[in-house]
A and B are shown apart, each in its own frame.
Chain A
């Protein structure tokens, strides 16, 4: 079955330290992969997407993600966290259809 797994439900970091949010997907065939962010009481905002071009994808707000086919992973990283990065992050996969399959989300807390 097609699925996506976010390995951590909560991640806490100090401001200025690196962020790593982990995501693995099931490998049926070439997926499109996305990261969305949802700030408290807000809608969904696209951070970045991978659609079979460069494996390292740069997104907004300093985030980037690397597609690793051998590991079926698409982890989200940022070199230095800001307080405003505190939000819920969703890893999302699409397999040659228009349907999006969402992970269960990772809540990022950033401490001063």
Chain B
């Protein structure tokens, strides 16, 4: 089954404690991205990757890092989380160059105290 998985699904942490949210897709897609969802703001892109070892900033990259060492994985790293990063995070993937549907992960709800 084609899918995007994220872990953990729920996370409560404290300010400054580094964390990583994993994202994995099984469709051999080149393009992956991370979004955050906040009430009244819709989803905003944090970072994206067009292929292995190719990443770039989206609209709200501050406070986040990503890496793309393998095609299937695209982890989101918060080196020093702050309360304003409390949000719902979605990972997505798509095969570039077509008009294919983007596949979204189930979401990770993060609370930073």
Contact = CB atoms under 8 A, between A and B. Distances in A.
The contact size tier of chain B is 20 to 34
Nearest to B92: A100
Interface string B11-55: 000000000000000000001010100001111110010100000
A112 B45 CA distance: 37
B94 A90 contact: no
Interface of B is mostly: strand
Interface residues of A, number: 16
A104 B101 CA distance: 20
Nearest to A49: B101
Contact of B33 (A32, A90, A99): A99
Contact of A44 (B33, B41, B104): B104
A51 B92 CA distance: 19
Given A44-B104, A98-B96, A90 B40 contact: no
Interface of B: 31, 33, 35, 40-45, 48, 50, 58, 90, 92, 94, 96, 99, 101-102, 104-107
